[in-house]
């Protein structure tokens, strides 16, 4: 009797152990992609870093370090520099080892700094652990232009059958699209496996129910990697590219996509005259605006509604991390409304022209009305040159044929900046009829100081705006600085 009871108990323990081991095995996954194979055309590999990953205590696996171009502006001159990039998939926990071949390591930054990722350096190798997928910049000795972009992705739940009729499949290796352009038909799933480099340009035009995904790279120097226009129900997921504009489209999701550009007008994620667009977990390092929301522009006609960017990282080597409202249709005014940015890390902003500055910029032009815009949980790191906030209704004759109609109902909540003094932020309307209305700053914190009305002991926002280094011009109604902390 006792023996049977002991046996039953042991059996139960063994089952629990085996079940726990199976669960752990499912939780702990690591996927390193194949190397792309022989290099052709532009350089593919960058030997500045050697990157390895492993499950805790396991065998190290080599990753392939790609060469990517980034734009360093010195004065008014642009200098295209070679940086590094690598990626992998994991779940559970992963250990990362990064060896610097370029120079001896004296100092290391792992950004965004808000992640607070600890590290150690042994024999010129950086070691750290990740518990969640992250998009990171590894910078040695303060060098942001020869850095390593490390994209740690979640493990893909499903991979399509390469032989399925609705699948256009690119396997590991280097592929060149005939004619340079792939026009994606309705109902297709274009899949780029990890270790894939596709040289060319994808066009999603006048179609619906399209998916482009995987872990590969679209290599299209000087132009958009994927252009989405006049389409509906489009999902772009997981890949790496240059630019991805969306025009005159509806119901578009861009998730875990990485955009890096180094050429003139190299915007990252543009929206023109589109509705219901979601950017989720994207990374943009661009030589122009990272994220824009415009109305009528480049042949796309109409306003924009329900645009969301969340859980993302923006790095503007040139121009704005976020820019809204400049372009529209003067004879037939457009409305841009219900736009939300939440949980965003801004790593850089560099713009010398005062009228074109702003980490979070709304410039209403061409009779546009911009309303119901929120910026929540935005963390801004030290910027080289620019303003934190720019709300203006200008008559910008370089790009517009009229000033905007108005800017109203704008919320800045839980905005933090840590760094050197930025340029003076600007909030100003245009005329009695073209005003900025109802702007709220809630829990604005600059270098650790919470800025709110009456913090100076005087009523109103006048002194508060000074403390926030903001110029408030004419035709501004209801500006509030408040705290809830």
Domains in the chain: boundaries:
31-154, 243-482
CB atoms within 10 A of CB 425: 22
CB atoms within 10 A of CB 65: 22
Rounded to the nearest 5°, which phi and psi values hold at 134? Answer: -145, 155
Q: Are strands 148-154 and 436-442 parallel, antiparallel or unpaired?
A: unpaired
pTM value?
0.93
Q: Do the Cβ atoms of 122 and 160 come closer than 8 Å?
A: no
Before 276, cis peptide (omega within 30)? no
Q: Which residues of 184-204 are buried (b: 16+ CB within 10 A; e: fewer)?
A: beeebbbbbbbbbbbbbbbbb
Residue corresponding to tokens 């990890």: 194
Q: Do the Cβ atoms of 352 and 370 come closer than 8 Å?
A: no
As a whole number of angstroms, the distance between CA 333 and CA 295 comes to 9
Answer yes or no: is pLDDT of 337 > 90: yes
Answer yes or no: is pLDDT of 21 > 50: no
Cα distances (Å, whole numbers) of residue 186 to 231, 232, 435:
9, 10, 44
Kindly state the tokens that stand for 60.
């190290």
Tell me the per-residue pLDDT of 227-270, one tens digit each, with 9 for 90 and over: 999 999 999 999 999 999 999 999 999 999 999 999 999 999 99
CA dihedral 389, 394, 396, 399 (to 10 degrees): 70
Residue 471: which of 395, 413, 391 has the closest Cα?
391
Answer yes or no: is pLDDT of 189 > 50: yes
Residue 287: which of 271, 270, 263 has the closest Cα?
263
Kindly state the tokens that stand for 337.
């409304």
Mean pLDDT of the chain: 92
Answer yes or no: is pLDDT of 446 > 50: yes
- What is the DSSP code (8-state) at residue 156? P
Distance of CA 127 to the CA centre of its chain: 25
Q: Do the Cβ atoms of 432 and 395 come closer than 8 Å?
A: no
Q: Do the Cβ atoms of 359 and 387 come closer than 8 Å?
A: yes
pLDDT of 415:
98
CB atoms within 10 A of CB 355: 13
As a whole number of angstroms, the distance between CA 465 and CA 388 comes to 13
Fold of 243-482: Pectate Lyase C-like (2.160.20)
Second-level CATH architecture of 31-154 = Sandwich (2.60)
As a whole number of angstroms, the distance between CA 171 and CA 305 comes to 37
Strand, coil or helix: 195:
coil
Tell me the per-residue pLDDT of 387-419, one tens digit each, with 9 for 90 and over: 999 999 999 999 999 999 999 999 999 999 999
- Which alpha helices (H) appear in 325-394, and where do they start and end? none
Give percent above pLDDT 90 in the chain: 86
Residue 307: which of 320, 319, 324, 331 has the closest Cα?
324
pLDDT of 10:
52
Answer yes or no: is pLDDT of 12 > 90: no
Tell me the per-residue pLDDT of 62-108, one tens digit each, with 9 for 90 and over: 999 999 999 998 877 889 999 999 999 999 999 999 999 999 999 99
115: pLDDT confidence band, cut at 50, 70 and 90? very high
- The H or E element that residue 73 is part of is strand 66-74
Tell me the per-residue pLDDT of 348-371, one tens digit each, with 9 for 90 and over: 999 988 888 999 999 999 999 999
pLDDT of 455:
60
């Amino acid at each position: 009797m006792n023996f049977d009871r002991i046996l039953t108990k042991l059996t139960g323990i063994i089952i629990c152990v085996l079940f726990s081991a199976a669960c752990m095995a499912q939780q702990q996954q690591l996927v390193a992609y194949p190397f792309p194979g022989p290099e052709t055309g532009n350089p593919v590999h960058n030997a500045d870093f050697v990157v390895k990953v492993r499950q805790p205590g396991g065998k190290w696996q080599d990753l392939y370090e790609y060469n990517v171009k980034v734009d360093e502006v010195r004065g008014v001159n642009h200098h295209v520099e070679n940086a590094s990039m690598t990626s992998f998939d994991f779940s559970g926990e992963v250990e990362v080892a990064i060896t610097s071949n370029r120079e001896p390591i004296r100092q290391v930054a792992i950004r965004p700094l808000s992640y607070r990722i600890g590290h150690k350096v042994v024999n010129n190798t950086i070691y750290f652990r990740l518990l969640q997928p992250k998009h990171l910049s590894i910078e040695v000795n303060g060098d942001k232009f020869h850095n390593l972009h490390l994209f740690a992705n979640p493990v893909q739940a499903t991979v399509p059958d390469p032989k399925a009729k609705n699948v256009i499949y690119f396997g590991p290796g280097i592929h060149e699209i005939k004619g340079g352009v792939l026009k994606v038909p309705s109902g297709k799933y274009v899949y780029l496996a990890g270790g894939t480099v596709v040289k060319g340009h994808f066009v999603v035009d006048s179609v619906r129910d399209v998916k482009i995904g995987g872990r590969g790279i679209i290599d299209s120097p000087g132009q958009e990697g994927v252009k989405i226009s006049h389409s509906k129900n489009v999902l772009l997921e997981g890949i790496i590219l240059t630019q991805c504009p969306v025009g005159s489209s509806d119901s578009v999701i861009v998730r875990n996509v990485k955009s890096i550009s180094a050429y003139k007008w190299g915007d990252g994620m543009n929206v023109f005259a589109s509705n219901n667009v979601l950017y989720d977990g994207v990374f943009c390092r661009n030589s122009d605006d990272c994220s824009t929301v415009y109305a009528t522009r480049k042949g796309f006609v109409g306003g924009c509604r329900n645009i969301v960017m969340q859980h993302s990282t923006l790095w503007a080597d040139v121009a704005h991390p976020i820019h809204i409202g400049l372009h529209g249709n003067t004879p037939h005014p457009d409305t841009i409304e219900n736009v939300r940015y939440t949980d965003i890390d801004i790593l850089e902003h560099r713009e010398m022209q005062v009228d074109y500055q702003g980490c979070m910029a709304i410039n209403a032009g061409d009779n546009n009305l911009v309303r119901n815009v929120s910026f929540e949980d935005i963390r801004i790191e030290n910027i080289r040159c620019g303003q934190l906030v720019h709300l203006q209704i200008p008559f910008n004759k370089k790009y517009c044929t009229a000033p905007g109609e108005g800017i109203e109902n704008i919320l800045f909540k839980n905005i933090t900046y840590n760094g050197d003094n930025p340029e003076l932020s600007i909030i100003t309307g245009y005329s009695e009829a073209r005003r900025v209305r109802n702007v709220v700053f809630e829990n604005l914190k600059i270098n650790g100081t919470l800025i709110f009305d009456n913090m100076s002991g005087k009523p109103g926002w006048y002194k508060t705006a000074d403390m926030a280094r903001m110029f408030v011009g004419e035709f501004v109604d209801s500006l509030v600085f408040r705290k809830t902390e």
